[in-house]
A = this chain, B = another copy of it.
């Protein structure tokens, strides 16, 4: 049974707590944060069993998760060093791994340092964004220090797999090269795209859903991202060069009227992106979608539930697509089979609700 100590109870720390608390491998989860409000909330929602000082928490722990910003790692490691028991696992959840691994070299020889990076997040920051299933199907990278024995690594992998994460072990340098390409360059692109509007209201007025999606990451925490970008700047500069070259070739093709080149670029991008598997969000395997138009009235969602419940049709997924306040909205319902979907459409129509198969 493992005693877990989580230092830094933000979105990731609290979600880890919620996810690990149901694990049969875990005996208890202790938390520390400089913000007492976060600690109280984390205990209320069951993300931690109780909170303790760093020295109390570190002394008792079998696994310590560092979930604070990178900048506080040096002082945390100083604090922890004299307290921890031999054989303890120390891991983190930061976005770059080479810098962390060199900080971990300060730890005693009999302590196992394993870098970590869960590829999961949420728009709601801090403990309020905590989600019991945040890591479900998310890739969780581990970058073990050189001397970590296989059975120690396996212990952490087993623990993390109880969160639903897909754990992958790799070298810190490989990790940093990959995240430069799939995370840091996209982040810088979003920043440059937003700044290209110069904040002019006539331009922002026309910034539809596509622009909001493409630039969502530009709304992220500034300090964290300044840290990330500079901690990975060598690789980042190389990949930024490649990105600029690629845009330059597109520009030339447009100037020359080279339709073939543009078509090839668009088509390659579509093929690659369509190959990224999309997570199905619904509860229970839902295969068939129905769309219905409902009035904007109190109780309408409960009513949909009861209409389908009377027919013994289970709602696997539900999504409010669009709404006009005081008028109505469109709702997507996912059900398990085409037969259920057809019966659902009939039942809804019998209740004067416009509905059809999507």
Binding site for B on A (CB under 8 A): 41, 44-46, 119-122, 124, 128-134, 136, 138-139, 141, 164, 168, 174-175, 178-179, 181-183, 185-197, 199, 202-220, 222, 225-226, 229-230, 233, 236-237, 239-244, 246-248, 250-251, 254-255, 257, 259, 262-263, 265-276, 278, 280-285, 291, 293-294, 296-306, 308-309, 314-315, 317-325, 328-330, 354, 356, 358
Contacts and interface: CB of A to CB of B under 8 A. Distances in A.
Contact of A324 (B164, B195, B263): B164
Contacts of A129: 358
Contacts of A236: 254
A181 B197 CA distance: 7
Looking at chain A's contact residues, the main secondary structure is helix
Contacts of A282: 320, 323
Contact of A216 (B210, B304, B308): B210
A324 B199 contact: no
User: Counting chain B CB atoms within 10 Å of each CB, which of A270, A272, A274 scores highest?
Assistant: A272
A274 B216 CA distance: 9
A301 B283 contact: yes
**Assembly stoichiometry (copies):** 2
A46 to B, nearest CB: 7
A262 B305 contact: no
Contacts of A263: 222, 226
Contacts of A188: 247, 250
A45 B265 CA distance: 37
Contacts of A300: 283
A139 B205 contact: yes
**8 smallest A-B Cβ distances: which pairs?**
A302-B305, A133-B322, A119-B208, A298-B314, A305-B305, A194-B269, A191-B269, A302-B309
A207 B226 contact: no
A262 to B, nearest CB: 6
A45 B206 contact: no
